[in-house]
Amino acid sequence: MSVLVNKNSRIIVQGITGHEGSFHAEQMIAYGSPVVGGVTPGKGGDMFLDRPVFNTVKEAVDKVQADTSIIFVPPAFAADAIMEAAEAGIRVIICITEGIPVQDMIKVKDYISKFPCVLIGPNCPGVITPEEAKVGIMPGFIHRKGKIGIVSRSGTLTYEAVDQVTKEGMGQSTCIGIGGDPVPGTTTLQAIQMLMSDYETEGIIMIGEIGGSMETEAALWIRDFGTKPVVGFIAGKTAPKGRKMGHAGAIIGGAADTADAKIKIMSECGIHVVDSPSQIGKKMREVMENASR
């Protein structure tokens, strides 16, 4: 089993004929992802990468039964692209676009709440269920099918965790890069809940960073309702005070937003927190071996 995407997904690429969209659509197709078409206004009726191009998402839903969309649209138009996908009936919307104004995302979150859809991103690497569907910009070759689910606010650290888990021989069920923006479509808690509900996911890696309260909310839920072991890491512990760096969401608003505060709460909630990203894979292996005894 998997969450969000799998071999039966019917994926379209919004912005498929653009530079970024075409490059990553080609990579997704090469990986074996079930890409059934693309959307570029004004180019409906064309074929691109041997897939039909539609003027609107609604056309793609009606004609090729699309249910999943990945968005490669410039920031000024990305909010409209997300809302169009939701209104057309897309169930899983993955927005890669970086730099969408916060005000736009506030409107998007309110608008899509009326529809039965899940938004991942924006400013994220996407979602992958190894050997079934890659819907994003992650390097597919480092992934292997397995039992470890990964949730991360950082794209680069997602790849690091995946590589370590693969080298430890465990593999991944589904990896969800939720993105680092202040207004994410899916929170850390929501992604954790998806993986906790997946009967084939046996362990979870949760990668967070300074700023916000998402990791704390997830940790408290794991303490009360978690049924699977969780390994955690918080990036930004050594970030210099007063310097702007990292994701837009990595803004410390109070004492509870710091790395030390999050690490303390996560540890108290039973999460196995590591001090360095280099320890993620080995700790996950250790935790899984202990759980099986």
Give the pTM: 0.93
The verdict on 109 and 206 lying in the same domain is no
Q: Give the whole-angstrom CA distance, residue 254 versus residue 276.
A: 23
Residues 113 and 87 in one domain: yes
Does residue 4 lie within any of the structural domains?
A: no
Does 145 lie in the same domain as 102?
Answer: no
Tell me the DSSP string of 167-200: HTT--EEEEEE--SSSS-SS-HHHHHHHHHH-TT
pLDDT tens per residue, range 26-76 = 999 999 999 999 999 999 999 999 999 999 999 999 999 999 999 999 999
173, 284 contact by CB (below 8 A): no
Q: Report percent pLDDT > 70 for the chain.
A: 93
Please name which of 232, 112, 126 lies closest in space to residue 178, comparing C-alpha atoms.
126
Residues 180 and 253 in one domain: yes
Q: Give residue 2's pLDDT.
A: 80
My answer on whether 98 and 33 are in the same domain is yes
pLDDT at 35 (0 to 100): 98
The answer to the question of residue 246 being in a domain is yes
Q: Is-contact 11 35, C-beta < 8 A? A: yes
Please, what's the largest Cα pairwise distance for the chain? Answer: 60
64 within some domain: yes
Describe the strand order of the beta sheet including 203-209 as a list of residue ranges. Answer: 133-136, 126-129, 172-177, 145-152, 203-209, 230-235, 272-273
Task: Please check whether residues 16 and 71 belong to one and the same domain.
Answer: yes
In a domain, 125, yes or no: no
Answer whether residue 250 shows pLDDT above 80. Answer: no
Q: Is the same domain home to 159 and 233?
A: yes
Q: Are residues 216 and 94 in the same domain?
A: no
Instruction: Write down the pLDDT at residue 239.
Output: 58
Q: Do 155 and 40 fall into the same domain?
A: no
Last residue of a domain, one of 120, 153, 180: 120
- What SS3 class is residue 102? helix
Q: How confident is the model at residue 247 (pLDDT cuts 50, 70, 90)?
A: low
Dist. CA 140–CA 143, nearest whole Å: 6
Residues noted as catalytic: 247
Q: State whether 157 and 42 are in the same domain.
A: no
How far, in Å, CA of 190 to CA of 285, rounded?
24
Read off the CATH number of the domain in which 24 is found. 3.40.50.720
Domains in the chain, number: 2
Instruction: Please check whether residues 192 and 256 belong to one and the same domain.
Output: yes
CA distances from 251 to 136, 194, 234, 244 (A): 26, 26, 14, 8
Task: Provide the residue range defining the domain that includes 19.
Answer: 11-120
Q: For residues 275 and 156, state if they share a domain.
A: yes
